[in-house]
Chains A and B, each alone.
Chain A
Amino acid sequence: MDYTNNQLHIIYGDATLGVNGKDFQYIFSYERGGLESLKVHGKEWLYRVPTPTFWRATTDNDRGSGFNLKAAQWLGADMFTKCTDIHLKVDRHDFAELPIAPFNNKFSNHEYAKSAEISFTYQTLTTPATNAKIIYNIDDVGHIKVTMRYYGKKGLPPLPVIGIRLIMPTAATGFDYEGLSGETYPDRMAGAKEGKFHIDGLPVTEYLVPQENGMHMQTKKLTINRETTQNNVDRTNEKFSLSIQQAEKPFNFSCLPYTAEELENATHIEELPLVRRTVLVIAGAVRGVGGIDSWGTDVESAYHINPELDHEFSFILN
């Protein structure tokens, strides 16, 4: 298929929605509840569907203040994701129901659109439960604006983080970003310098006990570089990249080889698994790390994430 005129080719599949264009192919899975494939220039960027993330590996200060005990429900909500609703809009057409068989029998392999929007609603496995929605907005050249909306609810425990976790099939060789130097958090970013930075590999900050690390606040642009794929026919080992740009506001991210749970489970750096994948967390709300003491005093309240308020953030994949 030759895509020349800035249109999206929409594939109304039986279990997925395909969105294709020049040099990109996206598959949204109704079964997996999210973006299953993000293929750009023939390279796959997703290992599993992106999910909301609510947990950060307990820091020493979090453990000391008992924050992990208070927030423990979010660990389950982070590990296990329940997708409760999917909503699709193509151009101006709002689908009341997902266009699966027999509804999609009316479509052909020649369905085109200027834009598509698909949103996934996730119910958090907390008591009380609340919802988080991830909305993918695809424009005519295939840029995806990703928005996550968290719906606050009274009675929820304090939040470690609100973000989206994207896991890539292989480990990145490095990343470049435009933002703040070093590892930064809302209550520890005054000393950072603004600039463009290159990071080799996926360094984990080697705190004695593995814990939350590697956050980069106030980022305008991030480019992740990989050289390998899991595709058995692709053995080129040439660098390929994915860029993430800020939407209305800068975003926060960490780019590590491990999930929060993998970090949480290790008591020493050498217990962490072999470096195999890239775990990108784009965070809308980041909790401070604190430092007054490590045995009781919480992070200063200005750097808490209020679970009872709504939070929303966006970024652009291209």
Chain B
Amino acid sequence: MQANINWLDNPEVFRVNQLPAHSDHPFFRDYREWQKQHSSYQQSLNGKWKFHFSANPMDRPQDFYQRDFDSSNFDSIPVPSEIELSNYTQNQYINVLFPWEGKIFRRPAYALDPNDHEEGSFSKGADNTVGSYLKRFDLSSALIGKDVHIKFEGVEQAMYVWLNGHFVGYAEDSFTPSEFDLTPYIQDKDNLLAVEVFKHSTASWLEDQDMFRFSGIFRSVELLGIPATHLMDMDLKPRVADNYQDGIFNLKLHFIGKKAGSFHLLVKDIKGHTLLEKNEDIKENVQINNEKFENVHLWNNHDPYLYQLLIEVYDEQQNLLELIPFQFGFRRIEISPEKVVLLNGKRLIINGVNRHEWDAKRGRSITMSDMTTDINTFKENNINAVRTCHYPNQIPWYYLCDQNGIYVMAENNLESHGTWQKMGEIEPSDNVPGSIPQWKEAVIDRARNNYETFKNHTSILFWSLGNESYAGDNIIAMNEFYKSHDDTRLVHYEGVVHRPELKDKISDVESCMYLPPKKVEEYLQNDPPKPFMECEYMHDMGNSDGGMGSYIKLLDKYPQYFGGFIWDFIDQALLVHDEISGHDVLRYGGDFDDRHSDYEFSGDGLMFADRTPKPAMQEVRYYYGLHK
């Protein structure tokens, strides 16, 4: 198969040759590797890559992926990083409208006319910058002789991949891992990986989040050596029995490769007591159903108790092929007949924040240190929940939330705000995904990527269909996807408020944003059909967060109110050296001559962009401490 640039224009093409999304569990060669937290099956490709920037697709070096291509004039760029922050192209912050506003007229394919393909909209887009990345690598010894996959954890926004001159695949959905099988073309030495990253594609219509608009390989890239038999996917469904004491353990395992040998499975508590032990022969699909654990220790924010699952995979000669360690908790979320959200049988109150991934120097290419700092800030300030606004986060974040008892609303990578709201008015004439058939699979795929990757994380209590994308058949289909795959969590979507007739098909909870306290109370006083939350409230732009008590006191009056997520955790601003003052300063939208811009609206955080708390944080700590 050859790469086709017209895929950029076609909403029906969003993944080519990508491996199916699967659980994010780690796998080690043996116990020692687990102890050292380093898997020899994983070879990082992070570091300096060769790089060429093109202002648009017409100018790009089309044959750069070929082995005989002369790349001597290429620059180098760090991977992971944002292309804009290496100053190849302009930083731009814009909220609702699309980044091409005032420069290029575009409409989404098929939005106005079922025959309108919008050919060339992006493949010939004058604003569609291109990053051509090259990386030469040798396989590490542990990978030689194995099937080799490559995993891109995050690339904005559309990418084509080649290895040694052969086309490997194509991916969109910037914020979930894209994995490809390199085995047919891999060499032990001197491999040439080529990745072509486009800033825009039809995915741009679905990734209209309120943020700086970056592009590039902004999360880690690694090679995975696949053992002869390998656990590709696991689906862990620990349930809590109706007595809220006992646990019911369910697990599905999906093996690939030779699928021969056996596995040894253990579940242990924190004192090392074994609750479950299994030795079974490997088949492609294995199920462990309804194993009952009496008197389990339940997981919650105050006591994030995790059990240890260990799966040892052996070949037919009893050699250990891989060790899969995974920690999980028992917890149960449900809605009572009185429309109260319950966690482990007790009322759940979300003292939450929306969190963009942000680093003032690195943009959305954040570091482990950023993540652990944020978790500590949560714990210090009684923040018990996070909404991953408005895209899946880096994988380690979900592990940190499991370990620290942070309740997660795991949001899809979806926001099409500019297709239905213009200058504050609701005008959905060109809305996507809407009910347009050609946009359906792309958004279901986003739901699937989010679900399959993160499904085993205890901390996730809610799946969120996305942000501010209006509502239609395709959002309904996303809701159905989650409902048909997961009965252990609730589904959330706010945008259905604009089409109330769809409320019985979308979202288990009534969710609003920025509804004033009086209006919240009106909803709660009138026999609410669903539990109520604010997925965004207390807009912390500048000197703000006043009047929070008016929301918090409603929690005492109305059990159907289960709290909300403050907008938002951290300012989006970039640290820049100011030649005039000689200081390093924080800059916001419009400060890079970027137009059209929404200027300082990029900074709405409880934290300044350099991660110092704003003065309002003491207020949050107080009010969030009242319903811990």
Contact = CB atoms under 8 A, between A and B. Distances in A.
B529 interface: no
A188 B578 contact: no
A293 interface: yes
Interface string A287-318: 01111111101011001000000000000000
Contacts of B538: 291-292
Contact of A291 (B546, B602, B615, B618): B546
The winner among A60, A191, A297, A303 for most chain B CB atoms within 10 A is A191
A64 to B, nearest CB: 8
Nearest to B582: A270
A294 B541 contact: yes
A61 B618 contact: no
Nearest to A56: B543
Interface in B585-605: 585-588, 591, 600-604
A293 B578 contact: no
Interface string A47-84: 00000000000011100100000000000000000000
B494 interface: no
A209 interface: yes
Contacts of A267: 600
Contacts of B368: none
A270 B546 contact: no
Contact of A293 (B539, B614, B620, B623): B539
A197 to B, nearest CB: 12
Nearest to A293: B514
Contacts of B603: 207-208
B585 A188 contact: no
B543 to A, nearest CB: 5
Contact of B548 (A270, A291, A294, A297): A291
B600 A208 contact: yes
Contacts of B549: 187, 190
A206 B614 CA distance: 9
Contacts of B623: 190-191
Nearest to A292: B516
A289 to B, nearest CB: 4
Contact of A292 (B514, B585, B586, B602): B514
Contacts of B573: 208
The winner among B537, B546, B585, B591 for most chain A CB atoms within 10 A is B546
B546 A207 contact: no
A298 to B, nearest CB: 10
Interface of B is mostly: loop
A190 to B, nearest CB: 5
A122 interface: no
A270 B580 contact: yes
A185 interface: yes
A213 interface: yes
The winner among B542, B548, B581, B585 for most chain A CB atoms within 10 A is B542
B549 to A, nearest CB: 6
A190 B619 contact: yes
Interface in A257-286: 267-270
A188 B542 contact: no
B578 A209 contact: no
B622 interface: yes
Nearest to A187: B546
Nearest to A272: B581
A294 B544 contact: yes
Contact of B588 (A181, A189, A208): A208
Contacts of A299: 546-547
Interface in A170-213: 181-193, 205-209, 211-213
A188 B583 contact: no
Contacts of B539: 61, 291-294
Contact of A270 (B514, B550, B581): B581
A190 B617 CA distance: 11
A193 B516 CA distance: 27
B605 to A, nearest CB: 10
A290 B571 contact: no
A227 B22 CA distance: 65
A295 B95 CA distance: 13
B207 interface: no
A188 B548 contact: yes
Contacts of B600: 60, 208-209, 267
A291 B571 CA distance: 15
Nearest to A181: B618
Given A206-B608, A289-B543, A294-B541, A270 B618 contact: no
A270 B591 CA distance: 13
A185 B544 CA distance: 10
Given A190-B622, A270-B583, A291 B545 contact: yes
Contacts of B571: 208
A151 B39 CA distance: 75
A270 B581 CA distance: 7
A269 B550 CA distance: 32
B248 interface: no
Contacts of B588: 208-209
Contact of A183 (B537, B581, B583, B615): B615
B616 interface: yes
Contact of A61 (B516, B541, B620): B541
A139 B547 CA distance: 41
A61 B583 contact: no
A289 B544 contact: yes
Given A61-B544, A188-B616, A268 B587 contact: yes
19 contacts: A59-B543, A61-B544, A182-B615, A183-B615, A189-B619, A191-B620, A205-B543, A205-B614, A207-B542, A208-B573, A209-B588, A212-B543, A267-B600, A270-B581, A288-B546, A289-B546, A291-B545, A292-B516, A299-B546
Given A205-B543, A288-B546, A291-B546, 19 more contacts: A60-B544, A183-B615, A188-B546, A190-B622, A205-B615, A206-B586, A206-B608, A209-B600, A270-B581, A288-B547, A289-B544, A291-B547, A291-B548, A292-B539, A293-B514, A294-B601, A297-B514, A297-B516, A299-B547
Top 9 closest pairs, chain A to chain B, by CB: A191-B622, A60-B542, A183-B615, A187-B546, A191-B619, A289-B546, A60-B541, A208-B603, A191-B618
